[in-house]
A and B are shown apart, each in its own frame.
Chain A
Amino acid sequence: MANLKEVKNRINSVISTQQITKAMKMVSAAKLRRAQDNIIQLRPYAKKLNVLLQNLSSGSDMEDDNPYSVERPVEKVLLIVVTSDRGLCGAFNSNIHKAAIQQIEKNYKSINDRGDLTILPLGKKGFDFFRKRNYKIIDTYWDVFSDLSFASATEAAVYSMKSFLDGSFDRVEVIYNEFKNVATQILRVEQFLPILPIENDGPTKDIDYIFQPDKQSILIELIPKSLKVQLYKCILESNASEQGARMTAMDKATENAGELLKDLKLMYNRTRQAAITTELTEIVAGAQALG
């Protein structure tokens, strides 16, 4: 049987681990609330922008000469992979990595073998993962989560739009975790560019707008905005999912530590009792020998 001091040390170390996981859970819970607030704050803007786009594109032939919706033969692909900066959040990052690799193997194997597949990681974990595995990566934008704002998030969107327009990439996809609830993340693979046709839900209103400067240039200005919002939304969703995943993981870890502690305490007490019993037997035996 293990000696008393060893067991005592293990108990102490498990207790301090438990304290850490408990604190991390609390921190994640607070961060999760903020992340969810961010998503909610974005909603009115995103909704209004969509309505505006729908009103504008209804009954127009703008789709044809919109440079962001040009379908070219897919030769060069950019994958935007949204991960997190920190670990200890369960399978959050490894799910994303797996999905990204699966997507590459399934749809873009030959493109990747040719070296025409580029990954744009957002988040430190994804950056490290793909760099270690010698994928072609763009390493300018991975640091969005250290200071998450619309401005910093849109830099990656601006980059991908620019390189789509100048033909460096024919297709851009985003892989991220969508926030469903604290315990559940939904993996999403979405086409970012070229833009899929704007869906018109509901009857199209034919409103006679006055345009300033003119319809074409407004549409050209609106589309990048909506793309930026789209990517920003992905990043916010991923951020909320990360906090949710970490909360669940840390909750589980705290629980496991509790169970381990229970076992260890039982073992400690058993050892202690066994030691006392041995001592007593020794004393009694000694007394008998004397008497």
Chain B
Amino acid sequence: MDLEIVTPEKKVFEGEVQSVTFPGSDGSFQILNDHAALISSLKEGYVVYKDRNGEHEVEITGGMVEVLNNQVIVLAEGVL
């Protein structure tokens, strides 16, 4: 699946990932391939994604995530 992390100031990440974990406002959750369509708000915390080169994390200050047809789009307020 494709992950895209954007903030108003820049595009932080774009690429193919195997899994991604979000700091949801109701608690942390993970998205894997072929996840159902989902929109969730995010609180501040780490977005952890796994791609071919291993695990990476991005600290965000809250935002939104939309999952649709294996396209994961993170609208982050900002990244630290």
- Interface pair B26/A213, CB less than 8 Å apart: yes
Within 8 A of B (CB), among A186-221: 207-213, 217-218, 221
Residue of B7, B10, B39, B75 near A209 (CB, 8 A) is B39
Given contacts A42-B9, A49-B75, A212-B25, contact A221 B64 (CB under 8 A): yes
In this assembly, does B15 line the interface, its C-beta being within 8 Å of a C-beta of chain A?
no
- 7 A–B contacts, CB within 8 A, in A order: A42-B8, A44-B4, A44-B11, A49-B75, A150-B78, A209-B39, A218-B64
- List chain B positions with a Cβ less than 8 A from chain A: 4, 6-11, 24-26, 29, 36-41, 64, 66, 68, 73, 75, 77-78
Given A212-B24, A218-B41, 14 further pairs, Cβ under 8 A: A41-B10, A42-B8, A44-B4, A45-B8, A48-B75, A52-B66, A149-B9, A150-B8, A207-B37, A207-B68, A210-B39, A222-B64, A225-B75, A228-B8
Nearest CB in chain B: distance from A51 CB, A: 8
Neighbouring A residues of B9 by C-beta, 8 Å: 38, 41-42, 149-150
Across-interface contacts of A274 in B (CB, < 8 A): none
The complex places the Cα of A103 from the Cα of B11 at a distance, in Å, of 37
In Å, the complex CA distance between A53 and B41 comes to 13
A60 → B minimal CB distance (Å): 13
Q: Is the CB of B38 within 8 A of A212?
A: yes
Residues of B within 8 A of A209 (CB): 37-39
Knowing A213-B26, A218-B64, A221-B64, say if A52 contacts B39 (CB, 8 Å). yes
Residues from chain B with a CB closer than 8 A to the CB of A211 are: 38-40
Least Cβ distance of B34 to chain A in Å?
14
In angstroms, Cα B63 to Cα A222, docked, is 9
B78, A151: Cβ atoms closer than 8 Å? yes
User: Closest CB of chain A to B8's CB: distance in Å?
Assistant: 4
Other-chain contact of B41, A44, A48, A221 (Cβ < 8 Å): A221
Give the CA-CA distance A80 to B75 in the complex, in Å: 26
A150 touches which of B7, B39, B64 (Cβ 8 Å): B7
Determine the chain B residues whose CB is within 8 A of the CB of A210 once the complex forms: 36-40
Chain B: which residue is nearest A208 at the CB level? Answer: B37
Interface size on A, residues (CB 8 A): 29
- Alpha-carbon distance A23/B73, docked complex (angstroms): 43
In the bound complex, do residue A213 and residue B64 qualify as a contact, i.e. CB atoms below 8 Å apart? no
Q: In the complex, which of the residues B25, B37, B38, B39 has the most CB atoms of chain A within 10 Å of its own CB atom?
A: B39
Residues from chain A with a CB closer than 8 A to the CB of B37 are 207-210
Q: Is the CB of A45 within 8 A of B39?
A: no
Within 8 A of B (CB), among A43-67: 44-46, 48-49, 52, 55-56
Contacts of A52 in B (CB 8 A): 39, 64, 66, 73, 75
Q: Does A232 contact B (CB under 8 A)?
A: yes
Closest A residue, CB atoms, query B7: A45
Q: Scoring A residues 210 to 249 as 1 if CB is less than 8 Å from chain B, else 0, what string do you get?
A: 1111000110011001001100100000000000000000
Instruction: Enumerate chain A residues within 8 angstroms of B66, measured Cβ to Cβ.
Output: 48, 52, 55
Are A45's CB and B75's CB within 8 A? Answer: yes
Question: How far is it, in angstroms, between the C-alpha of A290 and the C-alpha of B31 when the chains are bound?
Answer: 111
Q: Complex formed: what's the CA distance from A217 to B24 in Å?
A: 13
B32 to chain A, nearest CB (A): 14
